[in-house]
Amino acid sequence: MAELTYLQAISDGLRGEMRRDKRVFVIGEDVGVYGGAFKVTLGFQEEFGPWRVLDAPLAETAIVAGCTGAAIMGMRPVAEMQFADFISCGWDHLVTVAAKQFYRAGTPVPIVVRLPSGGGFSGGPFHSQNPESSFAHIPGIKIACPATPEDAKGLLISAIEDPNPVLYFEHKHLYRRIKAEVPEERYATPFGKARVHREGDDITLVTWGAMVYTSEEAAAQLDDDGVSVEILDLRTIVPWDREAVLESAKKTSKVMVLHEDTRTGGFGAEIAATIAEEAFEHLDAPVKRLAAPDTPVPFSPPLEKAFIPQVDDVVAGLRELAEY
């Protein structure tokens, strides 16, 4: 075991796969000489050479298209978008070509797109989004959203192994803030298997990514009220662990779904609908959703704080559920 930050765990997992499999290569803006916008690939070009750590032009469409073609020819590309927001430039190749190629011709497209996402550092509307729900609707794409350093490494390895296109959302606010023990050996964290971050009996809180830690702080405050909150970290939202969510909902009878993405059409709505369909008779309160409002991410620090769900918002929502 080694104590690693969230960022170091991503770097460690990626480096290990590149050493193990020569088909794995990295491409993106400034990933080579500069070592990546957030330094995930620092030193990679020196170790693997410029043909496996490729500095690309400012052309996300070309990056995703090139990765798709390389994957069809048997390579396993890992693309880095400097910010998750920029994936919109590659929408057509990702959604129209990569996601549908297997259905069209039976051809695997094992590409991973690393997406530094989320707010909390006043990046404004073009560098702070969590656009996971936009892609959760697209058949053929898988989506991972690790919250811990251990999962950051294990889910990345699973993503690289997977024969499908995988969007790997890594929350920027966690990069150097979260540190934990991570196994040094190679391991893969399975997709579609939620993790019980905190056990509880009275309310289930379903979340992923950085909101896991917001949930943790809020749940600790509810302990003082004698309310026991169970936190489920989904880890991946495509596929997502329906069985774990439904089992916890049936146990506690009250559920909150929390995410940093905006509310309307957010993935929390899919979870809430599934619980309503399949566990309605076990509920003692309506499923509660807590998410960002339907606006672009503000640049102003006070406005951004008002936009992103905060600990106090979660505490208030949990107390409302507890009193229902």
* Catalytic residue numbers, as ranges: 127
**Cα 8 from chain centroid (whole Å):** 16
Phi, psi of 150, deg, nearest 5: -60, -45
- Pairwise CA distance, residues 220 & 76, whole Å: 42
Whether the CB-CB separation of 227 and 318 falls below 8 Å is answered with yes
Beta-bridge mates of residue 168: 114, 144
Residue type, 100: K
Longest CA pairwise span in the chain (Å): 60
- Pairwise CA distance, residues 144 & 148, whole Å: 12
Phi, psi of 201, deg, nearest 5: -125, -20
**Residue 298 C-beta-side C-alpha neighbours within 13 Å:** 12
- Pairwise CA distance, residues 166 & 156, whole Å: 9
Helices (H), 77-210: 91, 101-105, 132-136, 149-161
- Geometric angle at alpha carbon 228, from 226 and 231, rounded to 5°: 150
Q: Tell which residue, 309, 311, 233, 244, has the closest CA to residue 274.
A: 244
Whether the CB-CB separation of 36 and 204 falls below 8 Å is answered with no
Whether the CB-CB separation of 232 and 226 falls below 8 Å is answered with no
Helices (H), 73-115: 91, 101-105
